[in-house]
Chain A
Amino acid sequence: MSSKYTHEKIRQSIQGNMRRYEATALSMAISFELEDFIKERGIKKQELAEAAGIPPSYLSQVFSGDRLINISMLAGISQKYKVRFSFDIQDAKADKIREFAAESWRKPYEKKAMIYDFRSFSKRHDNGYPQRVMGGDCGNQA
C-alpha cells in the first residue's frame, strides 16, 4: 500500500485514549440493546428518556454515540419497566485483533449488555424451570 500512514502508527496515536474509545463502544453496545428492547416492547424513545430521567435530546445523543450512557439512566429504566440488566466480562486479547474479530463474529452477543425480563423469567420458572438466581438463559431476549 502506498500510504504515508501505516495502521501501526495510527494505532499508536489512539493508544492514549483507549479508555475513552472502549467506553464509547460499551455505551453503544448497551444502547443497541436498549433500541432492540424498545422496539420489541413498542416503547417510544420519549417514554424511555422519561424513565431514564433525561431529556429526549440527551437520549438521542446517547444512541448516536455522542454521550455515554450512565448507570442511573439504566436504574431508571430498570425500575420503570421491571427489567434487570446484566453484563458479561470476557477476556479480549487485544494483541490478536484479527482472531478476536473472527471469534466475536461467531459469538456476537458475548460482550453485549443483556436485559433480563422478570416477567418472562417468572413465566419460565413457573413452567418448571429449575430455580436459578442468575444465568445466561434466564429470560435473555437476545
Chain B
Amino acid sequence: MENIVCLDDLLQDVNHLRSSRQQVLIYVREKIHDEFIDFLGGKGINSRYAPGNVEYRFDKFLAIAAVIYRNTYCAHRYRLENSDPVVTAMKFMDKGRNDRVYCREMTTVGGKVVILCEIHKKKNNENKKKEKNIIKKVAEYEFKIHS
C-alpha cells in the first residue's frame, strides 16, 4: 500500500465548486508528489523554473481541479480512459506540449477520491502502446482510503 497526499489545501480557489451530490477529494501518490510539483513548475521546459514554484502550470491544474470537483469529465481537460476501475487523464496541453497525469478514481463512503498516479510526457495524439500500458498500470494500483 502506498501513502497518498491530499492536494485540496492548494486548490482553495476552486474548492467551492464541489458537487452537491458527492464530495470529491484530490490526492497524489506520495512517491510522485515532488515530481508533480516540479511538473507544475515546468521543470526542464520553463526557463524561469524555481524549485517549489508551481506558477507555470498552476492555472491549468486549477481548471482541471474545477472539473474534478464538479464530478464530471471533460474531453479537453479531464478525460475518462478506463471505466472499471476508473482511470482518467488530466490533460496539460499548452505551449506545444501534450502532457498527461493519469489518475485513479475510487469511490468511498464519503464520496469520490481522485489519486494522481503517473506523470507522462505524451508525444502523440492517439493512445499508443505506451499510454495503454500506463493506463493498465494505474488500473492495477491498490489504495486503501481511511475515511
Contact = CB atoms under 8 A, between A and B. Distances in A.
Interface of A: 1-5, 7, 9-11, 13-14, 16-18, 20-22, 24-25, 28-29, 32, 60, 63-66, 92, 94, 97-98, 100-101, 104-105, 108-112
A1 B31 CA distance: 10
A110 B60 contact: no
Nearest to B14: A25
Nearest to B23: A105
Contact of B53 (A3, A13, A66): A13
Contacts of A60: 76
A20 B55 CA distance: 11
A94 B15 CA distance: 11
Contacts, number: 115
Contacts of B63: 24, 28, 64-66
Contacts of B50: 13
A105 B12 contact: no
Interface of B: 3, 5, 8-10, 12-20, 23, 30, 33-34, 37, 50-55, 58-60, 62-64, 66-67, 70, 74, 76-77, 94
B62 A13 contact: no
Residue with the highest number of chain B CB atoms closer than 10 Å, among A7, A94, A98: A7
A29 B74 CA distance: 14
Nearest to B24: A105
Contacts of A63: 74, 76
Given A97-B15, A105-B23, A108-B20, A65 B10 contact: no
Nearest to B63: A65
Contacts of B76: 60, 63-64
Given A60-B76, A63-B76, A3 B33 contact: yes
